[in-house]
Amino acid sequence: MLVIRKFIVKKNECGLLFKNGDFVRFLDAGTYHFLDPLRKIEVDVFDLSVPEFTHRLTDLLIKQFADDVAKRFDIVELNATQVALITKNGRLAYVLAPSTRTLFWKGLVDVEAKVIDIVDDCAIASRLAAELVFADRGLLRDSMVHAVYFQHVPEYHVGVLYVDGATAGTLTPGLHAYWKFNRNIRIETFDTRVQDMDVTGQEILTKDKVNLRINLSCSYQITDVMAATSKLSDVNDYVRRELQFGLRAAVGTRTLDALLEDKTAIDESVLTHIKAKTADVGISIADVGVKDIILPGDMKMILAQVVEAEKAAQANSIRRREETASTRSMLNTAKVMEDNPTALRLKELETLEKVTENVGNLSVFGGLEGLMNGLVKIK
């Protein structure tokens, strides 16, 4: 019995004819009939609108059917230091990784590959970087994740680029992108504006063994990023640690009374210390100041009692001075009246006036002269 098998290859397709599992030839669009009673013939059909060609016999086709492959495919083969930008019909589609080989069907989709050598320079041009980073097409976005390292350096910041752990340079504000194939890329950003740092809750013993809790504030600025990163593993941690050391040295060498009398002495001591420690590491210190000096509870009570006693002593001293001045004034007045009867008489009348201010009813006998002579007599 004759068995004729029919295969149809559409206009947007291409077929691969196999007999007994071996490749025979390519089939262009059309209808094909094969006498195949034992069903030894198979046809693999590929949609040309998907230009990427993958098949288990790709290597065989390239070696033994080179002319047919060259006629029907564009081959993009990359070494270990190359990447390729694949465009379809003029539109960037995705990134092809190094050490890969891809066959693209010719004809239906116009495929172009731009090969880029990344052995010496892994930086991506700003325009291409923006297109890759902000890609909204699925395949391009997915390939970008594995192909590109990017980071945005904010305004007033400086970026430091590290390639395979080594410093490769500084970066200005903006978007920066790099090919990360066969490399470990990292960007660290540093704020170059003046920054504030608070060192709080530092418990320190004074020279006279009083335990204080001190809060300190510091303003600093990174002026040389390369110097700071080459000499310090963590800028903030270094500044904080040196502030703590400087504060302990300033407080530990002074008594409590000295600290309370002149808090600026701590500021000056810590400022001198921290400036000396940051002079050659690219950090500028703008200001250092003590915000709070917190005493223990029992010490607060003692100081309150001391202050109360001092104020009481001051009040007593002022009162004694006033009493002395008043007595001296009365003595001077008495001396004047002793030699001047008229002044004495005026003083008597002034006293009489004050006495009569609080008298409700006054009965006078003997006339005004009797009143004056009876109440006050001049000897």
DSSP string, 234-285: -HHHHHHHHHHHHHHHHHHTS-HHHHHH-THHHHHHHHHHHHHHHTTTTEEE
Q: How confident is the model at residue 378 (pLDDT cuts 50, 70, 90)?
A: very low
Stretch 259-285: mean pLDDT: 90
pLDDT at position 306 is: 60
Percent of the chain with pLDDT over 90: 58
Q: What pLDDT is recorded for position 355? A: 65
Residue 374: is its pLDDT beyond 60? no
Could you report the per-residue pLDDT of 327-364, keeping only the tens digit for each? 887 777 777 666 777 766 666 667 666 666 666 666 65
Tokens matching residue 273 = 């210390």
pLDDT of res. 379: 43
Higher model confidence: residue 365 or residue 184? 184
Structure letter (DSSP) for residue 154: P
Phi/psi of residue 94, each to 5°?
A: -170, 180
Tell me what pLDDT residue 330 has: 74
pLDDT at 369 over 60: no
- 51-55, 282-286, 374-378: lowest mean pLDDT where? 374-378
3-state SS class at 156: coil
Lowest mean pLDDT among 86-100, 247-261, 291-305: 291-305
> Is the per-residue pLDDT at 260 higher than 50?
yes
**Predicted pLDDT of residue 157:** 96
pLDDT at 300: 55
Query: Per-residue pLDDT for 75 more than 50?
Result: yes
pLDDT digits (tens, 9 = 90+) for 52-73: 999 999 999 999 999 999 999 9
Assessment of whether the complete model's pTM goes beyond 0.85: no
Percent of the chain whose pLDDT exceeds 70: 84
Q: Average pLDDT in the 142-158 region?
A: 91
Residue 135 falls in which region: left (phi positive, over 0), alpha (psi -120 to 50) or beta = beta
Cα 149 to Cα 346: distance, rounded to the nearest angstrom: 105
- Give the C-alpha separation, 132 to 168, whole Å: 23
pLDDT score, position 373: 59
